[in-house]
Structures are given as structure tokens and as C-alpha cells.
Structure 1
Amino acid sequence: MPDPVVITRPRAQGEELARRVQALGFEAELFPLLEIDPLADQSALARVLAGVADYSLVAFVSPNAIEAAFAHIARWPAGVALAVLGDTSRACLASHGVDDANANIYSPQGAASDSEHLLRAIDPAALAGRKVLIVRGETGRELMGEGLRAAGAEVTTVAAYRRRVPALTPELGATLNRLLARRNDWIITSSEALRGLLALVTQLGGQAAVEKMQQQRLIVPHARIAETASALGLSRITLAGSGDAALLAALQSRA
């Protein structure tokens, strides 16, 4: 019997991955390590999006960014291209009436779904001297903005939501204790989430709990997350590659 799989994405994105994991015959448990909250003050977001037609390209870093932005967009302006990281974001755009039939949408080729591959799909050099908007959370990677600016694009970044590690409630603590009492495969897709997990584990049970976490196995999609895990004292790491298909393939090979 394969080890259970703990999926740590925010709940809205984790549910689909959990279904795919279960379809392969694994037990899957959602344990979201990041919660997505709307901004208390959305005036800056609304102001920027009121001028969305002025941009050559708008990049959304996640489905959460799309949902938050389209609360302020009645109709997508013709001629403004979009960039997203994967099929889930494409489906989210389609739910708002934006698809390949009526808009130019860039996304990474193949199964990859990270900023590095999205930059290649966009061709930053073609955006030199043009205005680009990146819609994201309050925190996150700077790679896309830096890459576009280096190519000569005029980049604006706007926050659409905030991410936070959940508080260690008695209920969450009980779940975490249960998970640490057995061996699992943890799918970790964010360095921020991984740091939050170690903080929760330490708060829960100090060094003894950390040592239990060090016995767990991680599956991660990117070298930077593997580096974060190593720096936090975790060594049982499988680097799968970008995209859900790569995560699932790594999970099957581990089993």
C-alpha cells in the first residue's frame, strides 16, 4: 500500500490535484499551508485595472489573481494579450469569457508551469518599450518582472490578494500531529508554504516535532524549493520538475 499523499496547496487549487492523486490509487489529504485572503483595501487594484486597455500584456500569476482582478473588469479589452502559468488558469479565464477564440493567451509549453517557462513563451524581447502589467499576491517571486524589465518592457506590478500561513489552532495542531505520526509523501509547491510548515511544526512540538518532519518525504517541482527544504534540514526530497504531470509521475515512481 503506497504512503498517503499530503497536498499543501491552497484549497481551491489543491482539490483538483487531490482528485488526480486519488485516481492513481493513492490516499490524498488536503492540508493547505497558504490561505488566500482578499485585500482589505482594493482601491489600488481597481485604479490600475481601470486602465487595463493601456497594456500590451497582462500576466496573472495564479487563478487567485485572475479571480481577484476580474471582480474589477467588466469586459476584457480587445488587443490586450494575457499570460498565465497553466491549464487551471486558462480554465479560470474561460469562466470569465476569455479564451483562445477571442484573446491572445500565452502559457508555458508542455507540462511546465513556472515563471521561467512562461517568460520563454512570451518572448520578452518583443515587449521592449511596451507596457506590461503583472497581477499577483502581495508577496511572491520577482523573476517575471525582472526578466521583462531586463528586456526593456515597462512593467507595473499590482497586488490582488494576500497569502498567509494559517494559525496553529487546536484543530490544525491535531491534524498536523496525526500526519507527523505516519510516513507521507508531501507535495510542496511553494517555498513560502514550506517555511510556513516548518514554523507550524516548531510551534507545535519544538525540536521533537521537527525531527518527525525530517522523516517525511517531499516531492517538489523546482530546485529553489528543494534548496529551501535542504536549508530547513529536510533531506528526503524528490525533485519532480514543473507541472502537475511531473509531480504525479514522481509520486508513482516513489510508490
Structure 2
Amino acid sequence: MNVLLTRPLLQVEELQSMVTKSGNKPLLFPTLKLNSIDAKVENNYYDVIIFISVNAVEYGLKILKTISYHKIFAVGSATARKLSENDIEIDDFPRKKASSEALLALDSVAQLYHKTILIFRGQSGREVLKQGLIKQNNQVEYVEVYERVNHNINSLHRQSLDELLSRNEGVISITSIDSMKLLVKISSQILDVDRLKNYLLVVLSDRIKTYVNSIGFNKVLVTPNTSNNGIISVLTNLNTLDKPVKYS
């Protein structure tokens, strides 16, 4: 089965390999590029450090080495694993679901009061985590260590769409709302986007599902978790089903 992958090329290698090993064919369709930002922090010590994504770890390690801290948290298992791979000890992270809401719900985070907190993230993004921490009378700062840039259309996009559409079955993997918006934008320069609505979208969260439903994509499955393994588990189930999939 063809699987269209919309992650940035620098971020997709592991998932691409896992899709191949699962017996499916990955088709690369990068919607975003990631560029590092020459960022600085205001202080040399923080009570708490939080990494909001794997990319935040990738681009933020250089800065982390220049500051001291007491505790460190990750938004989910993939981010925690990236920190561990770089020999950084994590105090806690949500085990079941990677999200700001899940992080705030942890007892260890709910107990943070009157702390100085530094959040590593990409440029812009949701404010849920910062607002939640401020309500607990914490002093919260961002250090934005990378930016997302729209990917220009190229021959790879055309080739991948041609191959996806050459068969009636296939899956499109969507890992963010921004990726979905850019999938539509780039694809509209190549074909009638309505043709993509015949294909199943595999998304990482109910929030993404709500958005794709709102623009007319109704064949959607949400992964059981936000890791690459969550995506692969959905693909594996699809390959073993002998009856039509029920979409919600």
C-alpha cells in the first residue's frame, strides 16, 4: 500500500524506514522545511526545562549545554527518547499521549509553583502550555530554536502524487494541521484536490481530525499515540483487515 508522508525531509527518515519494513511503500511529500534559529536565553539557570518536540531537542541542545537547571520534562515519549539518546536525564513526560494538555495533567507538572521555566520550541505555536503554567504562578519563557518554512513545489511532489493516484487504495499521513494546509496548497497546483478525498488520512490527534473533517476530508483514522509506532500500528491493522474500515 502506498503511504504519502508529509513530514520535512530531515525529519522523515525513521518513519520512511518503518513504513518500508511494515510492507508498505513510502511516498515523500514534504510540506515544510525546518531552519535553525540563532536563539539566546535571558538567564543561565532555570528551575525547569521543557522540550515541546523532537525538533526542539534537535535544535536546542547547543543552548541547553550553556545553562543549568533542576528538572527537565518532555511533551511525549518521542521527545523523551530523543533526550535520552543524547544522555539527558528526563524527570517526567506523558506516557500515553504527547500534548501540552497531557503534560499539564501530570502530577509532577501540576505541582510546579513559583518556578522559573524555560520552554524549548519552534517559532510560534500553541500557548496552552505556557498559559497553564502561568496559572500556577510560574515565570515562563520561550526559547524558539527553529522555524517552519513552507516547502516549494518540486518534481518530488508531482511524482509522489502520481504514484499515489495510480492506485485506488492508499494512505496519507498527516502529523500537524500546518502539514494538512500545505498538502492542500501544494496539491492544488498539480491536480483537483477533491481527488485526494478518496484516500484515507491517518492523523496524530483528534484536533487534527477535527480540522481535516472541516475541510471535507472524511476518511480519517486517529493513531493510538503520537509516535511513529502509532502510525505503523494503524497501517498494520489496515493491511490485516478483511472487512471495510469504519471511519469516525
| TM value normalised by structure 2 | 0.84
1:10 aligns with 2:1: no
**Which protein is richer in helix relative to its size?**
1
Deviations 1:63-104 (A, max 9, x none): 221222222343562x521111344433432344313xxxx4
In 2, Cα distance between equivalents of 1:248 and 1:60: 24
Q: Please state how far the C-alpha of 1:60 moved relative to its aligned partner.
A: 1.1
In 2, Cα distance between equivalents of 1:73 and 1:203: 41
In 2, Cα distance between equivalents of 1:170 and 1:20: 24
Q: CA distance change for structure 1 residues 177 and 139 in 2, over 3 Å: closer, same or farther?
A: farther
Q: CA distance change for structure 1 residues 211 and 36 in 2, over 3 Å: closer, same or farther?
A: same
SS at match of 2:41: helix
Match of 2:173 in 1: 187
Match of 1:47 in 2: 41
Match of 1:81 in 2: 71
Q: Please state how far the C-alpha of 1:178 moved relative to its aligned partner.
A: 3.4
Contact 2:170/2:200, CA 8 A, preserved across alignment: yes
**Match of residue 55, structure 2, among 47, 55, 64:** 64
**Match of residue 222, structure 2, among 205, 215, 239:** 239
Q: CA distance change for structure 1 residues 181 and 149 in 2, over 3 Å: closer, same or farther?
A: farther
- Map of 1:135-150 to 2, 5 A cutoff? 135-150=120-135
Q: Please state how far the C-alpha of 1:192 moved relative to its aligned partner.
A: 0.8
- Higher mean C-alpha displacement, 28-37 vs 176-185: 176-185
In 2, Cα distance between equivalents of 1:254 and 1:159: 38
In 2, Cα distance between equivalents of 1:217 and 1:52: 47
Contact 2:112/2:138, CA 8 A, preserved across alignment: yes
Deviations 1:177-196 (A, max 9, x none): 43344332111110111011
Q: CA distance change for structure 1 residues 6 and 217 in 2, over 3 Å: closer, same or farther?
A: same
1:225 aligns with 2:229: no
Contact 1:6/1:29, CA 8 A, preserved across alignment: yes
| TM value normalised by structure 1 | 0.82
Q: CA distance change for structure 1 residues 122 and 145 in 2, over 3 Å: closer, same or farther?
A: farther
Match of 2:187 in 1: 201
- Map of 1:65-214 to 2, 5 A cutoff? 65-74=56-65, 77=68, 79-99=69-89, 104-110=90-96, 112-121=97-106, 123-182=108-167, 183-205=169-191, 209-214=192-197
Structure 2 portions without partners, runs of 5+: 240-248
In 2, Cα distance between equivalents of 1:52 and 1:66: 18
Q: Residue type matched to 2:55 in 1?
A: N
Root mean square deviation of aligned Cα? 2.3
Deviations 1:219-244 (A, max 9, x none): 11211101110122111111223233
Contact 2:98/2:226, CA 8 A, preserved across alignment: yes
**Which protein is richer in strand relative to its size?**
2
SS at match of 1:127: coil
